[in-house]
Amino acid sequence: MATVDLKDVRKVYAGGVEAVKGVSIDIPDKALCVLVGPSGCGKSTLLRMIAGLETISSGTVSIDGKVVNTVGPTERDIAMVFQNYALYPHMKVYDNMAYGLRNRGTPKDEIDRRVRDTAKTLELAHLLDRRPRELSGGQRQRVAMGRAIVRNPKVFLFDEPLSNLDAKLRGQMRVEIKNLQRSLGVTSVYVTHDQLEAMTLADVLVVMNGGLVEQAGAPLDIYEKPASTFVASFIGAPPMNLIALSGNALPEGTKLVAPVPPSAATLGFRPEDVELADAVHDAADGMDLEAQVEAVEPVGAESFLYSATGGGRIVVRVPGRAIAQPGDRLRVLVPVDKLHWFDQAGKRVS
Amino acid sequence: MSPRVVFPNKVLPYLLVAPQLAITLIFFYWPASQAVYQSTLREDPFGLNSKFVWFDNFKRVLSDPGYLNSLQVTAIFSVSTAFVSMAVALLLAVMADKVIKGRGLYRTLMIWPYAVAPAIAGMLWLFLFNPSIGSLAIGLRSLGISWDPLLNGTDAMILVVSAAAWKQISYNFLFFVAGLQAIPKALIEAAAIDGARETKRFWTIVFPLLAPTTFFLLVVNTVYALFDTFGIIHAVTGGGPGRSTETLVYKVYSDGALNQLMGVSAAQSVILMVIVIALTAVQFRYVERKVHYG
């Protein structure tokens, strides 16, 4: 039950490397904020600063309205799930979960009750007497979650908690984390490089790049209105198709019936925002693109057509089984309201 | 199961292990068997002929109050040496783990004492704490502490334990530093977030995870204190004053080499051998069970 506010937070390492270059985020109470970005973008450093594991070079981190810059991790009343779980290998699952409570002087019977309750919620009850090395990856992940939950802290911090699991388990745990977080109502910060995890979990999504926030907001808003070409190509799988405009000239084989913003340097559209046509399409507004299919990826429910155009390679998403074969020629139509425009610096132009 | 290497040639494998076997046989089994053999013999005073006396030497040794005293001295000496050297080394290693600037230099300097020969180390300590000329002894006396390792058995014991432990600290330090580095940082961080302060983190997380290192060093240090400290005792106290620092190994030497009681001395070394084998076996069998490897 706490808000987390970051104000112009910076991290400069001893060698002079600036990992975080002034980040301000307000996370409302009970919200799940996901920090997403490529490796080296400063998201983990930022999380560790919230945890108190890294010093803050400048700016302030506040938890529940109180600046915690000089408060150690021990006193911040947070819980963290680490990428490698960081379970204490010499302790049984029960003791792993009870450790934090014991350190805070919780009465013995209450520890026992809370550990057993949490274990039941996470379906760990039968594993309480095992040691971490006797558990599978998924079970370890649950114990790490349990260790965080049992303490009932002000804030949960997750540092890529699912990256060591296989794809199926990751999907399951993703849903479970979301449900748990919602039912417990604990403010959370979640770091990941997986855009799918980011999209599905976040109440507040923060896309980071090079130590700065590229865009923050609701996941679907970001998906629909990426603030930059970086966000456009990072959020969404496959990413947004980007076609460079040389001057105002369109690539060969492209027809455009739309108002082009004067500063536009790049044009983008989502792979699913297209229609395929057999013949040249003149009637409607929008973009009409000539493409040659190079590869087809059938995923089952949908298929991805990797195609070459005069403006570079694009991906087209079509539902179900693809009719096209490699070598086929396509006409790709993009409605005018599905076009995204970006300027020379990669910023969105409306 | 690791894959087995199959040699097409029948003789080659034996040739390959032969040097190692030869060394073990010549330098370990042969002297050991000689000791066992000698322990059943009694020589006349001139060493001209010897007589087979079964276990008579053992009977004599075990009923000798001097020997029982030596057992007690050895126990005190070994336990103290192992404990002091490991405790100090652990403390230094934990401190060294926190040093950020000049870490390499600090560690290198810590390792130097290991290169000092036992007898030299003993002499150093002897000079430092010599009641009449030792600089540290003068310091002690000016603090009002009466200090005389030449007359007082307890002082002598403190001196040899200090010298023996000091010599071993570097070795233990090295292993503890490596052991500390092998503990994942995330565990310490997790414990910090779990509300454990530094001291608590050390005793509940770091120390238990260091157990494999500690256990290994316990075995090594026990064997060191039992055998390798002869040089130090010989140089510092010569077993005295009285017999207050006469360990089992030192007694083997004084009975065998000085007093020429070969049979009795051999019986003592056989007993010593049995003690060390038993001790190591016990350590591996019972202590190791409590150790968690990763």
Chains A, B: CB pairs < 8 Å: 63
ipTM: 0.83
Chain A (77-136) residues lying within 8 Å, Cβ to Cβ, of chain B: 78-80, 82-84, 86, 88-90, 99-100, 103-104, 131, 133
DSSP letter string over B168-233?
Answer: HHHHHHHHHHHHHHTS-HHHHHHHHHTT--HHHHIIIIIHHHTHHHHHHHHHHHHHIIIIITHHHH
Pair (A194, A279) in one structural domain = no
Q: Mark the ranges of chain A whose per-residue pLDDT is less than 70.
A: 1, 247-248, 278-284
Task: Decide if A89 and B209 are in contact by the 8 Å CB cutoff.
Answer: yes
Residues A24, A315: Cα–Cα separation, whole Å: 35
Which chain A residues are closer than 8 Å to B197 by Cβ? 74
CA distance B185 to chain A (A): 9
Residue with tokens 């403390």: B91
Which chain B residues are closer than 8 Å to A76 by Cβ? 193
Interface of B with A (CB under 8 A): 184, 186-187, 189-197, 200, 204-205, 208-209, 211, 292, 294
Amino acid identity of residue B207, one-letter, is F
Pair (A248, A127) in one structural domain = no
Task: Decide if B209 and A90 are in contact by the 8 Å CB cutoff.
Answer: yes
Q: Name which of B189, B197, B292 is nearest A53 (Cβ-Cβ).
A: B189
Pair (A173, A281) in one structural domain = no
Query: B19-76 pLDDT, tens per residue?
Result: 999 999 999 888 888 888 877 777 776 767 777 777 777 888 788 888 888 888 888 8
Q: Does any CB of chain B come closer than 8 Å to the CB of residue A58? A: no
Residue A236 inside a domain? The answer is no
Final residue belonging to a domain, choices A229, A253, A286:
A229
Q: Name which of A53, A83, A103 is nearest B195 (Cβ-Cβ).
A: A103
Pair (A261, A306) in one structural domain = yes
- For residue B51, what is the enclosing H or E element? strand B50-52
CATH code for the domain in which residue A93 is found: 3.40.50.300
CATH code for the domain in which residue A339 is found: 2.40.50.140
Final residue belonging to a domain, choices A198, A229, A260:
A229
Residue B272: which of B10, B65, B70 has the closest Cα?
B70
Residue A235 inside a domain? The answer is no
Pair (A339, A257) in one structural domain = yes
Final residue belonging to a domain, choices A195, A229, A263:
A229
Count other Cβ atoms within 10 Å, centred on residue A329.
Answer: 12
Domain map (residue ranges) of chain B = 57-290
User: Which residues, including other chains, have CB under 8 Å from residue A229's CB and lie 6 or more apart?
Assistant: A242, A266, A268, A342, A346
Query: A269 exposed, middle or buried (CB, 10 Å; 0-12, 13-18, 19+)?
Result: buried
- Tell me the whole-structure pTM to 2 decimals: 0.79
Residue A12 inside a domain? The answer is yes
Count other Cβ atoms within 10 Å, centred on residue B38.
Answer: 21
pLDDT band for position B135 (50/70/90)?
A: confident
Per-residue pLDDT, B161: 87
Per-residue pLDDT, B151: 77
Per-residue pLDDT, A221: 93
Pair (A212, A263) in one structural domain = no
Pair (A250, A170) in one structural domain = no
CA distance A7 to chain B (A): 23
Pair (A255, A321) in one structural domain = yes
Count other Cβ atoms within 10 Å, centred on residue A97.
Answer: 30
Which of B185, B193, B291 has the most A C-beta neighbours within 10 Å, making it the best mutation to test the interface with A? B193
Task: Decide if A90 and B211 are in contact by the 8 Å CB cutoff.
Answer: yes
Q: Name which of A51, A79, A86 is nearest B187 (Cβ-Cβ).
A: A86
Say how many domains are in chain A.
2
For A233: left if phi > 0, alpha if psi spans -120 to 50, otherwise beta; the answer is alpha
Which chain A residues are closer than 8 Å to B208 by Cβ? 90
> What is the phi/psi pair of residue B158, to 5°?
-60, -40
The DSSP output letter for A228 is B
Which chain A residues are closer than 8 Å to B195 by Cβ? 74, 100, 103-104
Task: Decide if B294 and A100 are in contact by the 8 Å CB cutoff.
Answer: no
Pair (A148, A173) in one structural domain = yes
Task: Decide if B191 and A99 are in contact by the 8 Å CB cutoff.
Answer: yes
What CATH number should be reported for the domain whose range is B57-290?
1.10.3720.10
Domain around A283: 242-349
Mean pLDDT score of chain B, rounded to an integer? 82
Pair (A176, A97) in one structural domain = yes
Predicted confidence (pLDDT) at residue B126 exceeds the cutoff of 70: yes
Residue A285 inside a domain? The answer is yes
Query: B223-261 pLDDT, tens per residue?
Result: 888 887 887 888 777 777 877 778 878 877 887 777 767
Pair (A129, A8) in one structural domain = yes
Pair (A151, A36) in one structural domain = yes
Which chain B residues are closer than 8 Å to A80 by Cβ? 189-190, 193
Query: B156-169 pLDDT, tens per residue?
Result: 888 888 888 888 88
